[in-house]
Structures are given as C-alpha cells and as structure tokens.
Chains A and B, each alone.
Chain A
C-alpha cells in the first residue's frame, strides 16, 4: 500500500515534467513543418517554446493537485461518517458519544496501537470494513487524480500551435494563483471568526452570555455523572479578566519606562558603538521563546520575590501576579523599545536643530519637542504591547495561578484568560462539553479585545500623526 502511494506521488510530479517536454518538442516540430511547407514570413511563433511546455505542465498538475487537496481535506470526514453508520449497524448503538469512542478504538486498532483483545467484538468485525474502505478510498483518489491529469494533458496538447498564446495563458494562471494566495489571509481571518463564534455560540446556549461576561465566580468543573458532588460548573469570567488586566498592568509598569527610555537613549544619546551593541542585545530579548520566560519566571523570579518578600514582611504567593507580570514586562521591553525607536527616528532632524538653536538642552528637546511629536506613534506602540501582553500565554501558564481569584492584591495568585484556555483544552476531553466550549468563548473575547486594540492603535497613528514635508 505504501509503495503504491509513493508511486502515485512520483507519478503526479513526473507527469507534468513529461507534459513539459512533450509541449516543447511538439511546438518545435510544428514550427519545423510549417517552415518547410510555407513561405518564411507567414507563420511566427506567438510564445516562446518554454511557455508551451509550462502551459502543458500546469494543465496537468493543477487540476490533479486540486483533487488531491480536496480529498485530503474531506476524505477523513467522509470515512468517519461511513464508519459511524457501519458500527451503529453492527452494534445497534445510536448514542453519538459511544459511537465516536468505537470509531477511535477502531482507528487505534487499525494503526496497531490497540491490541485486539481490548476491543469489543463488533468493533473487531468492523476492522475489515474499515481497511477495505481506506484501500478503496485510496484507489479512488489515485484513479481520479491520474484521470484528471491525463485529461488535462489531452486538452492542453490539442491547443499547442504556433499561433497559440501560451505565454498569456500561463501568466493569467500565475496571476490567479497569486490572487488565491493572498486570499488565504482573508480566509484565515474568516476561519478564526467563524470557528470561534460558532463554538462560542454553542457555549452560550448552555451558559447565558450575561453570566459569562459579568459573573464573578469561575470554576469550570462540570459534573460528569448526574448528581456528582463538587461539579457545579460556574462560568463567570470577571476574575479572569481582572487577573489578565492586573498582570498586563504590572508588565506595562515595567516595560513602558524601560523600553521608552532605552529607545530615547539609543536614538538620541548613544554613540554609534553602543548602539551597535545594545540594539542587537535588546532584539535578542525579543527572540527568546516565551516558554523560556515562563521557566525563568517560575524558577528564578517567583522564588526570588517570595524569599525577599518574606524578609521585608510581605506574604507572596508562589504564583503571584507580580512575578508573572514582571517577567511579561521583560518580554515586552524590546517590543516597545524597537517600535518607539522607529517613531523617534522618524521625527525630522529640523525639529531637533530648531530646539537646539533656541537654547534647549537635549533633555528639553526630547521631552518638549521630540516626544510630543512622536506621541501618536508611542501610544500606538503601547497599545500594541498591551494587546501582546493580554494574548501572551506561556509565561502566565507557567508562572501565574490556575485558581480564579478576584483580588486587587498583586502578591496573590490570579489567573488569566489564556491560562484558562490552556487548562480547559489540554488533556483529552470530549469536544462537546461546556468546559471545552468555554475555551472558545474566552478565545473569542481575547480575539475581539486584541483586534480592537490593534485597530485603535492603527487609528491613532493615522489620525494624529504629524506630517512633515
């Protein structure tokens, strides 16, 4: 089976190559015969030989690729729905949950992960059906794809002639492909919005939206069995929003002054040598993966704060908002500094010279001329940084708490929206429970808030940016 698959793959990529060669030789032959039969100036080749070859290989490859992609996307869906109906016929079971368990057992059995003795006899019975189904589906794909490729070959080969505008056709195809590629960005956004909104709306069927947005109690443990103790399930997200805001606020408290001042110093005071060392060093901070910051927060900063806090008489939780916020601030520093650096550098030199000519010291020039001129850019940089901090996940997952705690004390442990998304979705769960759907509702809020911040940042720059010419 593997071998056939590989041969198929090779064929799909060799056929366009062959078509290319065929197209080139065919147009050459046509030109030679036409030169022999007719007078010299009567027939001119419209497109270069290479374009005829290219046209043919595109006609062979592209339709077949579309077929393969469609199959890859939709075959698993079709196969699993067929399996469900087969298993429900065999077992007489109608509960979709049990059926999906049977299907995953069957898949594990087929892949050899699960041994046959752990599986119900009905499921074992279905194994033959399943492997036959997969084999048939594969062969169906191979036949259809190769048939389309051949059809493409035949149709395109008939068009090859000296007067055929192969170049124009090829260029149109290329342009269309590029258009499609740039459409992926829109598709992604639509995909994000649709998937989040769809799952979130299913969540809001169970939990009213007002309770989610304004409730102050969060404990997403749903009872698995009826009447189970301790599984009430409360989905009031206010503690999460409060925790996120507090950690973001702490991060900004650290990152804005340091980031802004280092940008100012680097662009206004620093010698070229210092600039050449310090700028890459700060950019290095930006390149560190967030999981590293998370580990740093959990293992260095939190114990450090707790030990020193107890010395001066402060009770710090080991998962305090302070530790997570400070480390998140460190992560944000390069973000703010490089964005503000760009903005400050774009303030024209004339303004600096003018201020100096009036007798201002450099600090006065900066605080009274340059920073006001750069203010819209800096504000938008800070907004972008806030949106980055709100959406940051790994640092808070590793350093902040899990329990939802509605408090204003930065020394206590709080939890954030992203932490809860991870906690709700990591591990094997059913996809349909309110618990997992809650993650999508949180994701929707997160997406919406960060989107608003980004749009606001863009708007501020557009509206208030000074135009110098």
Chain B
C-alpha cells in the first residue's frame, strides 16, 4: 500500500466522520425546531381559534319601556323585576323593524335572531338608571350565537338552506338590519363578567375563575405551611434515621403519583368517609394541596440548602438556639426560593383537571361561588365542559377560555421568575 492510498483512505474516512458529525448536529437542531414548531402551532392555532369569541354582534334597537310594566321604585324588588316580560319587550321591538312580516313563522324567525339573554340587557339598563322607564332608549341587544357566527363569516352562506343553521328568511332579516346600520360588533365582555350558560352567547368564565381563586386559596393555606414546615424539619432538624429516609422516599414517590389517583383519594376519603361537600373548593383545594405538597417541599429544601453554613454558624456563635437560627436567619434568606417554588406549584395545581373531575368539580355552575363550601367549578374544568359541548360557537369559546387560563398561568410563572431574579442571592 502506497502512502498516497492510505492518505485517500484516511481522508475518505475523515470525510465520512465529518458527514456523520454534521448529520448528528442536524438531527439535534431538527429536534429543537420541531419542538419549537409544535409550540408555535399549538399556541398560534388556539389563539387564532379563540379570536372570534372575544367579540360579539349586537343589534341596536330603540326600545320603549312603558310605565305599565314596572314602576321606578319597584326596580330594587327582585320579584317584581322577574315578573316583567323583558324578552317579549325586545322581541316586539325587533319585530317593529319589519312591519311587513305578519305571519307567525316569520315573527318567530325574527325572535330567533336575538339571544335568549337579550331581555337581560334591557333589565340591566333599567336597573342602572330607573329614570328611563316611560321613555324610549337605544339598547344594544346580543344576537344569537348562530347569527353571530354567520356575521363573523364562520357559517357559509352559500350552503343549501337545509344544511345551514340560519334559514334563508333569517338571512334576509339579518341583511336588512346590517344595511340599516343597526348591527354592531363589540368586545364580548360577558366572557369575563358572566357565569356559565347553556347559550354560547351568554356563557362566561366568571364563576369558574372565582372557583379557581377559591380553590387556590385553600390549596395555598394547606400546602404552604405544611410544605415549608416539613421541609424545614427534613432539611435542618431531622436526625438521619430510617423514619426520615422513609419520609423522603415517600415525598419523592408522591411527586410522581398520577394526579387522578389523588382525585380517587379525595373521593374516597374526603367525600365518602368525612362527608365533606361534593364539588366544593374546600375539597378540591385539599386534594390539590396534597398534590402540590411534594413540589413545595422539594423547592423549599433546595432553597434552604442554598443558604451557606457560615450564616448558621455565625448565628449559633452569637448564642441563638437552633430554632432561632432557622426562623431568624435561614428562613428569611431562603424565602424568595420558597415563594418561587410555591407559585410554580400553585400554577401546576391551577391547570389541573383530572383529580377535580373525580370530586365533582365539573358541575354546571351559573352563580358565582361565594365561599369555599359552595358548589363551584374551576377554569380547566370549565374548558373541558365547553370542549364537550357540540354547539359550534362553543369551539371558539373553549379556545378563548384556554387563552385566558394560559395567560393566568403565564402571569403566575412570570411572577415566580421575577421574584427569583429580584431577590435571588449568589453566595
């Protein structure tokens, strides 16, 4: 074998190795890009899908509120207010727009354009300002979800009438209203201010959001003190023995137990054994607290371990007792890390659905829960319920709910990162 041939063989081999190197690097980059791409598709797709749900179409109508319906001083009386036929009032007003329609089915078709909750808009207006009774006022009434979807272009007009949820006749009415400039697209504030509803155009996140806050409150009240105390004990006080080992193994295992098992625990122990109320933030919060406990304990221990021993020794040296060292020196220094861990644990808990389904926090809740033993639902469960609703308008609504939940979780995580950046100390 000549020198030359070894050289070419070597350079060939080298080239092959370099090609392998490039290929490997490319695979790595491709993996990162695909992960990033998936993230973009997921967030982009959901955002795009949610956009229609943040606005809604209203029809501006002049509504006469005759004095015969209700007196101004009766406005504060809920019974009298309930007796008033607000729904009939708005339907009549809309029918007046189409004097040429006299047949019954036509009249019904006109009424169907409005949302089932359109009457409430007038009622709220009267509640706000009783002096308008007896006069005619312009009120923006929400249209029904199908009409809204049509106006947003999400229902295809060119479909045959029998394949379309909006009939041809209704189409002509809508076109007329649009031509006269009565239809108005506004921000759908009801998404945030009202509770759940069967009607897509009235369903909002408010009761679920309050339910989430109450549940998080319970979770925080249980998991934070318990978690921090357990972590201090294990990190600073506990003797090295079998019991301590057992506790540590237990905590690590609990961190990996599927969340649905915690739900089963809550159902069997809290609800069936202790007879605590079903669907209540109290039970939900306790189940989630057990779930977040390992996260908080692990984060707290890491934060405590990061405090240098010199601090402890100095405090001991000037005569502090071990407990005083912990509470006066170590714990305050570890607090930023502890808070960060707690917030991240709570954010995880706030996005959790499965264990809450087990304890019935998937109920249809219209009213805002007031306290921790009221029936309530939480944001992820609300999203799950909306996702199961076959009505078309709920799709966008579900996506909007998801965006709200993710913004909320993002804010929580941002707070955690801010706390860490601001107060973190490098020793």
- Cross-chain contact B254 with A185 (CB below 8 angstroms): yes
Is A182 interfacial (CB 8 A cutoff)?
yes
- Cross-chain contact A384 with B256 (CB below 8 angstroms): yes
- Nearest CB of A to B186, in Å: 26
- Cross-chain contact B229 with A178 (CB below 8 angstroms): yes
Q: Which of B17-25, B93-101, B115-123, B305-313 forms part of the interface with chain A?
A: B17-25
Given A192-B265, A287-B413, A296-B46, A182-B31 contact (CB < 8 Å): no
State the CA gap A174–B229 with chains docked (Å).
9
Give the chain A neighbours of B232 by CB distance below 8 A: 178
Is B225 interfacial (CB 8 A cutoff)?
yes
Which of B350, B357, B395 is in CB contact (< 8 Å) with A422?
A: B357
Given A186-B247, A394-B384, A178-B258 contact (CB < 8 Å): no
Give the chain B neighbours of A337 by CB distance below 8 A: 35
- Cross-chain contact A185 with B387 (CB below 8 angstroms): no
State the CA gap A285–B387 with chains docked (Å).
21
- Cross-chain contact A189 with B264 (CB below 8 angstroms): no
Is A199 interfacial (CB 8 A cutoff)?
yes
Give the chain A neighbours of B413 by CB distance below 8 A: 287
**Which chain B residue lies CB-closest to A393?**
B354
Is B284 interfacial (CB 8 A cutoff)?
no
- Cross-chain contact B274 with A182 (CB below 8 angstroms): no
A interface bracket (residues with beta carbon within 8 Å of B):
35 or more
Q: Which of B152-160, B187-195, B290-298 forms part of the interface with chain A?
A: B290-298
- Cross-chain contact B29 with A265 (CB below 8 angstroms): yes
Give the chain A neighbours of B273 by CB distance below 8 A: 77, 195
Is A330 interfacial (CB 8 A cutoff)?
yes
**Which chain A residue lies CB-closest to B264?**
A443
Helix, strand, loop or mixed for chain A's interface? helix
- Cross-chain contact A287 with B260 (CB below 8 angstroms): no
- Cross-chain contact B230 with A185 (CB below 8 angstroms): yes
Give the chain A neighbours of B354 by CB distance below 8 A: 290, 393-394, 397, 418, 422
State the CA gap A430–B297 with chains docked (Å).
37
Contact with B along A334-364 (1 / 0, CB 8 A): 1001000000000000000000000001111
Given A258-B35, A287-B409, A440-B264, A451-B20 contact (CB < 8 Å): no
- Cross-chain contact A182 with B321 (CB below 8 angstroms): no
Given A292-B406, A425-B358, A447-B261, A261-B31 contact (CB < 8 Å): yes
Give the chain A neighbours of B357 by CB distance below 8 A: 422, 425-426
Q: Which of B37-45, B73-81, B172-180 forms part of the interface with chain A?
A: B37-45
6 chain-A/chain-B pairs, Cβ below 8 angstroms: A185-B250, A289-B406, A291-B351, A337-B35, A393-B258, A425-B357
Closest 6 pairs between A and B when the two form their complex, measured CB to CB: A391-B258, A265-B28, A289-B351, A261-B31, A76-B275, A363-B24
Told that A175-B237, A288-B351 touch, could you supply 13 new A-B pairs with CB distance under 8 A? A182-B234, A184-B293, A185-B247, A281-B35, A287-B347, A289-B352, A289-B405, A294-B384, A333-B38, A364-B21, A367-B24, A422-B357, A451-B257
A positions within 8 Å CB-CB of B = 73-74, 76-77, 80, 167, 170-171, 174-175, 177-179, 181-186, 188-189, 191-192, 195-196, 198-199, 257-262, 264-266, 268-270, 274, 278, 281-282, 284-285, 287-292, 294-296, 298-300, 330, 333-334, 337, 361-364, 366-367, 384, 387-388, 390-394, 397-398, 418, 421-422, 425-426, 431, 439-440, 443, 446-447, 450-451, 454-455, 458
